[in-house]
Structures are given as structure tokens and as C-alpha cells.
Amino acid sequence: MTYFQKEKGIVRSFQAELDAPDAEFCDVLERHTSASYRWRGFHPFNELRGAREVGESFWRPLRTALTSLQRREDIFFAGYNYIDDAQTVWVVSMGHLMGLFDQPFLCIPPTGKMIFLRYCEFHRVENGKIAETAMYFDIPHFARQAGIELFPIQTAAHLVQPGPLTHDGLLYESQPKEAGERTLSTINAMISNLGQWDNKLSLEEELRQTWHEDMIWWGPEGIGATYTIPRYAKQHSGPFRAGLTDRSPTTHIARLAEGNYGGFFGWPNFTARPTGGFMDMPETNKPGEFRVIDIYRRSDNKLAENWVFIDLLHFWKCQGLDILKQLQDTNYKE
């Protein structure tokens, strides 16, 4: 039996038309999206409605800034949404949008060189159209490639992130149902163990319940990527928990899996209050929203890799720190 092939075909056709060099963005979006199309993106784009608004507000500025745009996709899968008891089907695409940075983007000055925008998008497909999209991307990492560091020194490392170690993340063909069920079960167990920060085990012991010892956490600019359970605990999870408090329960809009891959997103996933130290920032006493996408690769019965997108610009704006506005003001004065 085949699963989700119709929905995958709709998204792949949309991507092919959108990525064409001469694409009319609004026209492409209108052909492939529903009349009530809803799009969620990271700050400063946030939530947009309808094909025209998405095309003019996001895609046209990006495609103007990046010439010869190329989609370098690393992961592609689909599945029923666990959150709404399989009432909806979502298709997920993750990778980089690469181009020549020839015009300014979000007040980031062009370099004339290659540049990569990390992205991950969840598309809800309904009645032959894309009805809803969550497209998250790493603007601070984009800025860093252009020589602008928006955050202080991070606790881990950040690179142009590769796809899966196994090079099998593009699930264009249907996958065995049982494999996706195992992946989703593993992700659910991990969320239960780690999601609320109230496990009585040590952090490393918590992680070993659902993660391989040589796990890789591919985090966003401002935090970085880290490798192995001990280094992940030291370089991200430990500092993250130490610098935040009053974490709310985890909430997701979509959570799904197919084959060995799965993931989720929320709007926001949770809120927490900085108590000082997180990302080398001071205590604010203000709750902030964490808009997050997590993508996972399962190996055997544990998680091996995790690609993470966090809207850190939005989180710090919740604290009264508008980093993009500061950059814009600086560039304007210069």
C-alpha cells in the first residue's frame, strides 16, 4: 500500500514551480494554495495570510536578494498528524536555500558570494492544495555568513549543516507504515522524558533513554551544534535549563513521522523566562515564546540526529531586544 504519495506530489510540484528561475511567486502560490492559505514564519515575517501576501512579503524579497536560487533538500517525508488524531496530512521538507547574495536582505548587506538559508517547512495538504505552511529558517546564521554576528559567542559550534549521516532522508517514495510508527513512538517517548524538565534522573541518564550515545544535535545560530550525549548536555541542554525557568508545557500544532524520520512544530512550542546566562544574556523576568521545529532521524530504537530551528530573534524581541532593528539602525547610521 502507498501512503501520502498524492500529498507529496502536490508539494513537489509546488516546489518545482516556485524554484524556477522565472517564477512569478504570487501566481505559483495562488495555483497551489487554498483561498484561506495560512503561512507562519520566523520574525520579522511572522504570520501571513493568502498567496499574495506570502509572495510579496517573503518570497519576492528573498528571491531578489538571492540570485540563481537553488533548493538543496536533505529531508522530505509526510505523515498523518498525531496531534489531531490523524485528521490531517502534512508534508515536510528540510535543507538549505542557496544562492548568490547580490542584494540586501533584512538590512543584511550583500556579499556577492554564495550564501545558505537553513529552512524547514511543514505543509498541510487538503483537497489537492496546500492549506497551511510553517516555514522556519535561520536568519542569524544567514547574517553570520555575511560577516555579521547577531549574538555573543555560543556554547556549541555552528556550521552549514549537513543532511543525515545515512544520506537517506529524501522519502519521495512510500515507506513501510511500521517504520514510521516506531519513529513516532520514539519521539513521543523522548518528549515525555525530556519535555517538562522534571525527570529525577541526571540529564545524561534522561538522554540515554531515547538517544544514541553518539547523537548529534544540529542547533541554530546563537546556540550551535553538538555531538555525543555528554557534550550535548554540557554545551546546550545543561546551560539551556540553567538559564531558563517557568517553562510551560509543550504544545505542538503538528507531529508526524514516516520511515526513520519525524518531527514537529509549535507556535509557540513553549514559553520560558530567562534567569540569566542563556546565550550570555541577562535575566529579564519576562516570559518568552519558543517557536521551534525539530526534525529527527531514528536508528534502531533510539534517536540519532536532530535538526533544530528556534526563532531566537522573536524570543529576544519578547524580552525587549529587537536585534534586527538594532542592525538596521546601525547600518542606517553608517
pLDDT, tens digit, for every residue of 140-157?
999 999 999 998 777 787
Beta strands 270-274; 261-265: pairing state: unpaired
CA distance 323 to 304: 33
CA distance 40 to 43: 10
CA distance 181 to 185: 6
* Nearest of 265, 260, 162 to residue 216 by alpha carbon: 162
CA distance 267 to 250: 10
CATH number belonging to domain 5-145: 3.10.450.50
Q: pLDDT tens for residues 259-276?
A: 999 999 999 999 999 998
Interior/surface letters 170-205, b for 16+ CB within 10 angstroms, e for the rest: bbeeebeeebbebbbebbbebbebbeeeeeeeebbe
Query: Can you give the length of the chain in residues?
Result: 334
The helix-helix angle for 25-32 and 5-18 (nearest 10°) equals 170
334 has pLDDT over 90: no
In a 3-state reduction of DSSP, which class is residue 250?
coil
Tell me the three cell numbers of residue 136: 522556519
State mean pLDDT over 28-51: 98
pLDDT band at 210 (very low <50, low <70, confident <90, very high): very high
Q: How many CA atoms lie within 13 A of 283 on its CB side?
A: 6
CATH number belonging to domain 177-323: 3.10.450.50
CB 300 within 8 A of CB 265: no
How large a percentage of the chain has pLDDT more than 70?
A: 96
Q: Average per-residue pLDDT in the chain?
A: 94
Q: pLDDT tens for residues 65-113?
A: 999 999 999 999 999 999 999 999 999 999 999 999 999 999 999 999 9
Residue ranges matching CATH 3.10.450.50 in the chain: 5-145, 177-323
Side by side, the strands of the sheet bearing 288-290 are 244-245, 270-274, 288-290
Chain CA centroid to CA 270, Å: 15
Q: What is the pLDDT of residue 159?
A: 74
CA distance 230 to 165: 20
Chain CA centroid to CA 272, Å: 19
pLDDT band at 197 (very low <50, low <70, confident <90, very high): low
Residues with Cβ within 8 Å of residue 53, at least 6 apart in sequence = 39
Tell me the three cell numbers of residue 314: 522573536
Phi and psi at residue 52, in whole multiples of 5°? -65, -45
Question: CB pairs under 8 A, 24+ apart, for 9-13?
Answer: 10/91, 10/125, 10/128, 10/129, 10/130, 11/78, 11/91, 11/93, 11/123, 11/125, 11/130, 12/172
Phi and psi at residue 28, in whole multiples of 5°? -60, -45
